[in-house]
Structure 1
Amino acid sequence: MVEGLLAEGAPASRHAYVTLVTNADYALGAKALVRSIGMTGTDADCVVLHTAAVDDVDLAPLRDLGARLVRTDLLPTSAAFNAAHARDRLHGLAPFTKGEKPPFHTPLDNFAKLRLWQMEEYESVVFIDADALVLKNCDRLFEYPEFSAAPNVYESLADFHRMNSGVFCARPDAATFDRMLSELDAPGAFWRRTDQTFLQHFFPDWHGLPVFDNMLQYVWFNMPELWDWPSIHILHFQYEKPWQDPHPKSAQLAPLIALWEAYAGDGPVPVIATLPGPLA
């Protein structure tokens, strides 16, 4: 057993899609994600890292969909680090001005995704946040170099210099994980956007994925000319989540919310290429 991780079952592949679930809301999101991954016909494992805070009743649907569940501890960060990255303090020092993070969003939990570098049973992994859908097979990403991520584009071209950590390609390696821990919790460390800011620091020469491998939902109304359903591989619901009720942007994002609801259920899903675009 790897320290900090406890897996159910053995891996069935050398490659894995990995997500992180830290509460019941993200377990709900992960159900739609896991189902969407399975519908692409991949042979890769689908792994759900989850903390002890998630009840088994919320994990059961993920297990039923064939996900490999791996319980993870939060990282052994210092009290000062934890205080600096507590929700109220972090959002006070670095408020979100473009959208709203839901009340169940706990910034400190985000760092637990770094544990995937401990999963050396896999040759390569693709991490996908639980608030996303995979619309087309993405197995080609297992051949991408470490570290690959898409730019954080959702408002203007000026965002291209920043990466978004909702989707990234990595190569598990315990030595890399140890180096991460040593840099993460340095004296006075403050990672403004938690794991995203840290990963861009740790991998300054990150490789760029196409925006269609991590299409952020705000592109729908901020940059509609960039939206192209047939090209989108992964749709990422950054900021507000499609299962929120009430949803503060339900009118603006109604077609995307309806798509997520189809994947979150047990019935058929739309043919993506037939969906109308934001300018229709």
Structure 2
Amino acid sequence: MERRNCVVTFLRVLLLVLMASVETTALYGVKLKKKEHRNAYATMMYMGTPRDYEFYVATRVLIKSLVKLQVDADLVVIASLDVPLRWVRALEEEDGAKVVRVENINNPYKGQRYFNKRFKLTLNKLYAWSLVDYERVVMLDADNLFLQKTDELFQCGQFCAVFINPCIFHTGLFVLQPSREVFKDMIHSLETGRENPDGADQGFMGVYFPDLLDQPMFHPPVNGSNLDGQYRLPMGYQMDASYYYLRLRWRVPCGPNSVITFPGALWLKPWYWWSWPVLPLGIQWHETRRQTLGYAAEMPIVIIQSIIFLGIIVMTHVARPGISKLCYRSSDKTTSLIHTALKFIAIWSILAAYLVPFAIIPRTIHPLLGWALYFLGSVALLSIAINSFLLPAIQVFVPLIGVFGSLLVMAYPWYPNGVVRALVVFGYAFCYAPIAWSSVVKVLARLHVSLEREQFLKLVESSAPSGFNKLF
């Protein structure tokens, strides 16, 4: 009996120790399975948005860009517990990252006015302060791409960030010194409802570090030269998606063109095929992906869609007279209501031909392949409308030709600066607008003629091969 009580007591103590260990890890620091370097580059992943896969791909490209540069630091991914295990294994086994599984931090600001739901889990970024095995951590969003080594960033003091204006710094790329105490205090600040303008990590850290601009950031360089004994520097050269350097008033420890970041609109991230050439530097992101991760995951879908689009073009061309007569076979008792309905169908079939490819083409394929597939898909779907309603092909294709022209204008690589590029794009749009309007008017006029029974039959008879109409 006494022995049994001893065993029970031992199990209780063991359970308490395990619970305390879990709590300590959650609140004071995350322990890694294996540490190889003094410092780390870290990013985060969480689930719950329609774009989870896209950000998974972006995270892998970010990690691989750092691996390619052979940075002197560990690569850490702070992943929530609901991230699929196959993604975790790919990050660890194929990319060489160290994945830290964490529980999502509860966002106390999700009920405040104007809160954007896509920021609900961005406070997981605070786990970067719990990586206490490292001396310094460069915390990154997935929309960063490294062009050259920036290990000099680890010279930072306790916290460094790039300011996007005189008052606000950007939390998509910053350097920190992990600390159990700071992490615990941050969690306490969340629980006590510290003010947060946007309810996300950007607003929280801006309030938590209100005087960052006036604080010394980088340690003196090894050669002993300094600036009043300290570097008072923001975090480094950083190049945004518009070719502009984000450079403030102090020298920085790393060279220019080290990092490309894309802090723009959500649907203009570099991994979306349609974002180029709106974002000219997006092609650099895809070039890095092509050299590292590749596009094997998307290629089967691309091949299948290409075959389907080509099949639609061939079938609609061969069956053109039959499609037209089937559309109007029951039009002996036509009314104005039927005419209106047919006009509505024709117009929406043309609009759908321009919009549907955007919805079905894999979002993360290479832009050159994506745009080629888009034009092929639009031509295939437009051919259905053209052959069904006997519309003029050139006028129907004018918007598609305009899109192609705008791509060429934006992708022209020899503009001296962004202002000239914007003026040329505006000039192209100004010159193209009358042509587009004229084509719309002609298509509507031709559609009206086609809907008249007598005129339509004449058009069918003149366009159909001899003997074909005998089938109907």
Bin of the TM-score, shorter chain as denominator length: 0.7 to 0.9
- 8 Å contact from structure 2 (residues 31, 131) kept in 1: no
**Residues 92-117 of structure 1: CA deviation (Å, up to 9, x unaligned):** xxxxxxxxxxxxx8202111010111
Amino acid at match of 1:73: E
Q: CA RMSD in A?
A: 2.9
Q: 1:263 to 1:192 in 2, by over 3 A?
A: same
Aligned twin of 2:70: 41
Instruction: Report the secondary structure of 2:170's partner residue.
Output: strand
- 8 Å contact from structure 1 (residues 116, 172) kept in 2: yes
1:178 pairs with one of 175, 184, 200: 184
**Residues 119-148 of structure 1: CA deviation (Å, up to 9, x unaligned):** 111111111111111111111111111210
- 8 Å contact from structure 1 (residues 46, 66) kept in 2: yes
Aligned twin of 1:165: 171
Amino acid at match of 2:149: N
Aligned twin of 2:121: 109
Which of 1 and 2 has greater Rg? 2
Compare the two structures and name the one with the higher strand fraction: 1
CA distance in 2, matches of 1:121, 1:65: 21
Give 1:196 shift: 1.4
CA distance in 1, matches of 2:414, 2:245: 8
Q: 1:279 to 1:185 in 2, by over 3 A?
A: farther
**Residues 53-92 of structure 1: CA deviation (Å, up to 9, x unaligned):** 32123333322111001112111444xx33238xxx414x
Amino acid at match of 1:244: Y
2:270 pairs with one of 226, 242, 250: 242
Task: Tell me: higher relative CO, structure 1 or 2? Use CA pairs within 8 A at least 6 residues apart.
Answer: 1
Aligned length: 240
Give 1:216 shift: 2.4
1:201 aligns with 2:225: no
**Residues 7-57 of structure 1: CA deviation (Å, up to 9, x unaligned):** 663111120000011233221111110011112221210001111232123
Q: 1:53 to 1:106 in 2, by over 3 A?
A: farther
- For residues 143-154 of structure 1, the aligned pairs below 5 Å read 143-152=155-164
Aligned twin of 2:41: 17
Q: 1:252 to 1:160 in 2, by over 3 A?
A: farther
Compare the two structures and name the one with the higher helix fraction: 2
**Residues 174-232 of structure 1: CA deviation (Å, up to 9, x unaligned):** 110111122234347433161112112211232453552x3222x33xx5898xxx711
Q: Which runs of 5+ in 2 are unaligned?
A: 1-21, 47-51, 218-232, 248-254, 295-412, 418-472
Q: 1:277 to 1:184 in 2, by over 3 A?
A: farther
1:252 aligns with 2:278: yes
- 8 Å contact from structure 2 (residues 157, 176) kept in 1: yes
- 8 Å contact from structure 2 (residues 276, 283) kept in 1: no
1:83 aligns with 2:111: yes
CA distance in 1, matches of 2:78, 2:60: 13
**Residues 241-277 of structure 1: CA deviation (Å, up to 9, x unaligned):** 11225x3x43321x312111121233599xxxxxx67
CA distance in 2, matches of 1:278, 1:21: 37
Q: 1:251 to 1:266 in 2, by over 3 A?
A: closer
Q: Which runs of 5+ in 1 are unaligned?
A: 92-104, 153-158, 270-275
Instruction: Report the secondary structure of 2:178's partner residue.
Output: coil
Amino acid at match of 1:215: M
Instruction: Report the secondary structure of 2:100's partner residue.
Output: strand
Aligned twin of 1:125: 137
